[in-house]
Structure 1
């Protein structure tokens, strides 16, 4: 006869004792756990040729080890390794009881969720999707009424079934994501704990790291390595400074966010439930009719503030670079031609300066996004978008890398690893470059501020972002209907409680992302700018070609004779129908390396090609003098859709393990970008003359 050990865990007053009695009848005895005066109840039952031994663990609200009951329950589960853990949940108090289940999930135990008092919950208006609930916890979810012995046989069948699954295979651990900052600290600690903690294998490195961050006294006592404890203290201090709260509170909030997500996903209908502040706000922000318009208005305000506040510092930086350019030019005799002077003024200042000018907009955009993320609103935006994602055949979890894609496409593609379904993952990777990354923001800011009135800046920016999202939706739908057919899986969207972001946290998050942009401008873009300056300057045109030309025509002839100019002229017949000339063509070449380089190369081209009489003009003024608003919009459109940067191509190849998919994305998006831009420019030209 097979023997199975089942531990019964649950909150006090969840009906745990009633269920234990219904399962074991008179076959039970009571004693104390070794070394503590905590009651230990054991019982057994013969069912389908199996002897199931039940251990009724002390009633606890969590496993954080704040009380002796919590320590006893946790130690039994970890040390005794029961075949199954049966978590009793008061179905009429679902959200509160589910917190314990999140901690059992983190222990990666073979779990069965029992929603007891289902009759009371039904009277209160609750109805549960048990299949979806179980999928969130890699567990079976069962409705019972212990006082009437309803659901007992189903529970016994599930215990036998779960124990057999455990024998055959170990379930893949599911994890609650605690946010970028906490996860970063966990990753740091995990590497150290995995190598040096004496109980890393027994408890699991990640679980130990969480307990160390929560200042769990029992786990701290087990962690004898001073290096581990010091690292944990540093992580705790960093998170406290960042958020103004202890990691224990932050981690608990994320667990409750997970619980809220489970509630939204698994509770089919409720007539009565507890109303908290977050619930009341969510009634508006998550409203099926109002939610999406509010999100769009919110993003419009973000762009509005980005331009409005960023306008003045942008002009200051622009003016500063102009003064610097004039100062360095003044070190040489007026009208003299010097390669060093041209490299510094046209290549470095014209290239890198053109990118750095937009740093205020970058900082403000990331600051606004940090506020939305830290307050808890971005998770609500993800919940809203999840409904759309499902309709286009994508996994709801795809929205997470898409949000990351607004910062940078490379980590966004790496973030698709959270998707288990390969077809959903490939679809997401293919459309991620259509999320306007931070590298495109300087292009948008340059052309919007050059060609559109101030009152239209935010609206045009929003339109460009929405075009990318719309095309991504259409392409996802097409891919899921053709090359990548398949069903999308169930997704749990976590809804953390709203919180007031700390000033330190907001500034830190905004600066981290902005610093990466500035660092890129001072390294990668600087190097590429120097290369592009050389390509835009050499070879020089012969004296015969320049003979008899005006100063402006000489500059133009020199540019056209250069390597970049020749490539641009060769491209011009192909890009002219889009409204682009050879100068934009040369800038597009630079954008293949990194999107920001488009702005750098545009600055270099116009520094070299314009006559000396126009040197005091800003790049925006030069663009306005040479192109129309329609051409400016088409440049933004083409840069949005076409030819992802080299880093995106490389990471796509790595994550898909296929050059075929990488080139399909690269060439496919370029073809779509060309087609869409062609239609917009030619149609616009007809209406605008």
Structure 2
């Protein structure tokens, strides 16, 4: 509850002062401190400001200022005091699990991309967010909580950003979060081995005048290079306490948390507000703007006046947007323009360049007094590796070799644990089948649930192997090099070099890949990357490839995989060229991307990432795939027909049309059962849907059952396999399903698939409309449902055309 929420005559007790700098200091000096009672008296005639009674005197605050003071009711405060008396003397911990308001610290993790924020977040909050050694892994704010020494930390991991300007979506997001949420303490995570670049963001946070702690992360890299840093002295120079940490091991985390508490309680001796001194011409402009800001009593105290003044001189669009709503904006704009003209006239450059140079000059000076560089072993190792992986002769072959190795391992190595899971699922299905009485419930469990979900879960090892490779490329730093070597090629395609990272991430899942396009500064390149991402074959399609390539091309599985993925990339490239030529203007955004040093991924991080993906996959099994499997089973089961429901004439005609070998190998009862099963499927709700679509897919020799599986894929692509299992074998046995797809049908006399139609089917699955989750992500990230509709229609059209072409070519070699 905030002080601004009180009604006339109501009383509250102060628990926390938000805001920053001068505002926080001023109101605390006036008596607005923790535990003090405040009574709201009345609103001004225009409802702002508000009069309060505090310590037997009256004081007025604007609503925006009162909103920065947290309070609780008097009764809650009494309970809080009573709660503090009931402390377990033996271990010093509270008996009650609730945390008082004044013991809650809201923390924002802010830092450059690839600085280890998410690793720190995972250690502190116990979360399992993905950590990658390249920019843009954290594509949105992630929150977590922990309790420590009687305090509750509410921690938010903000996207990585190089500055607090409105240059990219990440920077804009971080800037708005710090303005609107006003966290109690900012933890600025910096890389110990790259201080000069990382401290530029620190300098902007200092301008904000917020309570802050610097986490000097990856401190072991500094030690490994035999460099020494007087971090305590540097902290005193910056007015911000510095705590060395190693986030991936947890070293230094307790010290960091203790320092956060000290800063929050205003007990830390190193905390002080400094002004980073700029050139006289800049300072004159800043001073004039600050003086003018202070005159306007309506200006929000959420940002310090100095920060706003500097950003206004830089013509930051977000600050411009904020200030435009104030009545004195035109006066501030006049002062800014006059100051900028003077700066350009006397210094020969614009304010942006001068301010950046001055801040880097301050950082260099501070590091010159506190940092002694040693040997840069990591840098030398990085140079040696880059000599090969970014070489124009070796770069592309190495990348293609890694891709082929990834697909080979996914198909070949994954086949062994796949068989083990398949055996277990088959054993479970057999045991349940023996113990259950015949009827709809047994059919539902065996054919719908186990047949659907069990037929998909066997592919979990393949998907985990794929994610292990992707995780290794991300964590090691190789993914950034891939973007580097692909930039020129991507630029010729009408894309940005950074577009390649979301495309490679699409091998895992298109949804986070589409979200990760936020790292692309160019709006047009970002939109094109989003629209072509579904052509990149995600892991959900792996079960289909494994099933059909194993059945029809067992000796060439890795080549089939590689060919499908390459085809998806080629279609994505052609689509990008078309979109750039006819829809979006030419992209002139420069390629600026950090190439982080190579790091050996820890087994813990890799296993944790694989477990995270496994958990997501298993949740998918128990969620959308389970529901879809039951739904598909119900559509194929109802209306339900028994032998007596089918006309005798139909049965006789159906048996007469069967292949002679079928009639010879079965008795009359078995033949009738075959007819009943076929009649049930073809006359079910699902059968009618499939037959309605079948004429469109007939040119590729796709039967109605195949069409049903494709339609079911809109929920999740794994459901394609489970639907085929329900319709063709009614079992979870993937080996039996593969055999059934290749063998001649006892009813129709021909196999459901041949090599040509199987290949065409895989091509269609690769390219046709994405799953619902991906379409939703596209609509959300683009801000328009039109792009979602475009992807559904365009992708399906391309899938039909190329599938038809592949079938016609393949049938020539059959």
Q: Does 1:371 align with 2:375?
A: no
Q: Does 1:496 align with 2:496?
A: no
1:588 corresponds, among 703, 710, 727, to: 710
Q: Does the C-alpha gap of structure 1 residues 513 and 393 become closer, same or farther in structure 2, counting only changes over 3 Å? A: same
* Structure 1 equivalent of residue 248 of structure 2: 239
Q: Does the C-alpha gap of structure 1 residues 435 and 184 become closer, same or farther in structure 2, counting only changes over 3 Å? A: farther
Question: 2:186 and 2:518 mapped to 1: Cα distance?
Answer: 28
1:191 corresponds, among 156, 159, 165, to: 156
Q: CA deviation at 1:371?
A: 2.1
Q: CA deviation at 1:667?
A: 0.3
Question: 1:206 and 1:495 mapped to 2: Cα distance?
Answer: 30
Q: Does 1:597 align with 2:719?
A: yes
Question: 1:207 and 1:683 mapped to 2: Cα distance?
Answer: 67
Q: TM-score, normalised by structure 1?
A: 0.63
Q: CA deviation at 1:181?
A: 3.6
Q: CA deviation at 1:202?
A: 5.2
Question: 1:312 and 1:346 mapped to 2: Cα distance?
Answer: 25
Question: 2:210 and 2:799 mapped to 1: Cα distance?
Answer: 44
Cα deviation 1:14-35 (Å, max 9, x = unaligned): xxxxxxxxxxxxxxxxxxxxxx
* Structure 2 equivalent of residue 512 of structure 1: 612
Q: CA deviation at 1:432?
A: 0.7
Question: 2:407 and 2:247 mapped to 1: Cα distance?
Answer: 31
* Structure 1 equivalent of residue 676 of structure 2: 554
* Structure 1 equivalent of residue 30 of structure 2: none
Q: TM-score, normalised by structure 2?
A: 0.54
* Structure 1 equivalent of residue 503 of structure 2: 402
Q: Does the C-alpha gap of structure 1 residues 179 and 479 become closer, same or farther in structure 2, counting only changes over 3 Å? A: farther
Q: What's the Cα RMSD here?
A: 3.8
Q: Does the C-alpha gap of structure 1 residues 527 and 187 become closer, same or farther in structure 2, counting only changes over 3 Å? A: closer
Question: 2:781 and 2:734 mapped to 1: Cα distance?
Answer: 47
Question: 1:206 and 1:502 mapped to 2: Cα distance?
Answer: 35
* Structure 2 equivalent of residue 661 of structure 1: 787
Question: 1:212 and 1:442 mapped to 2: Cα distance?
Answer: 44
2:526 corresponds, among 425, 438, 462, to: 425
Q: Does 1:563 align with 2:685?
A: yes
* Structure 2 equivalent of residue 84 of structure 1: none
Question: 1:403 and 1:657 mapped to 2: Cα distance?
Answer: 23
- Does the aligned pair in 1 maintain the 2:763–2:799 contact within 8 Å? yes
Structure 1: segments with no counterpart, 5+ residues: 1-77, 81-172, 223-227, 248-272
Q: Does 1:436 align with 2:558?
A: no
State the SS of the aligned residue for 1:540: coil
* Structure 2 equivalent of residue 686 of structure 1: 812
- Does the aligned pair in 2 maintain the 1:395–1:491 contact within 8 Å? yes
* Structure 1 equivalent of residue 411 of structure 2: 307
- Does the aligned pair in 1 maintain the 2:466–2:508 contact within 8 Å? no
1:622 corresponds, among 725, 728, 740, to: 740
Q: CA deviation at 1:191?
A: 3.3
Q: Which has the larger radius of gyration?
A: 2
Structure 2: segments with no counterpart, 5+ residues: 1-19, 23-109, 123-140, 144-153, 158-177, 188-204, 220-230, 257-375, 656-670, 744-750
Cα deviation 1:249-285 (Å, max 9, x = unaligned): xxxxxxxxxxxxxxxxxxxxxxxx9982221221221
Q: CA deviation at 1:212?
A: 6.8
- Does the aligned pair in 1 maintain the 2:21–2:210 contact within 8 Å? no
* Structure 2 equivalent of residue 59 of structure 1: none
Question: 2:772 and 2:402 mapped to 1: Cα distance?
Answer: 32
Q: Does the C-alpha gap of structure 1 residues 557 and 423 become closer, same or farther in structure 2, counting only changes over 3 Å? A: same
- Does the aligned pair in 1 maintain the 2:534–2:767 contact within 8 Å? yes
2:629 corresponds, among 520, 529, 532, to: 529
* Structure 1 equivalent of residue 301 of structure 2: none
State the SS of the aligned residue for 2:583: coil
Residues 51-70 of structure 1 mapped to structure 2, 5 A cutoff: none
Question: 2:808 and 2:120 mapped to 1: Cα distance?
Answer: 49
Residues 603-614 of structure 1 mapped to structure 2, 5 A cutoff: 603-608=725-730
Residues 95-174 of structure 1 mapped to structure 2, 5 A cutoff: none
* Structure 2 equivalent of residue 211 of structure 1: 215
* Structure 1 equivalent of residue 162 of structure 2: none
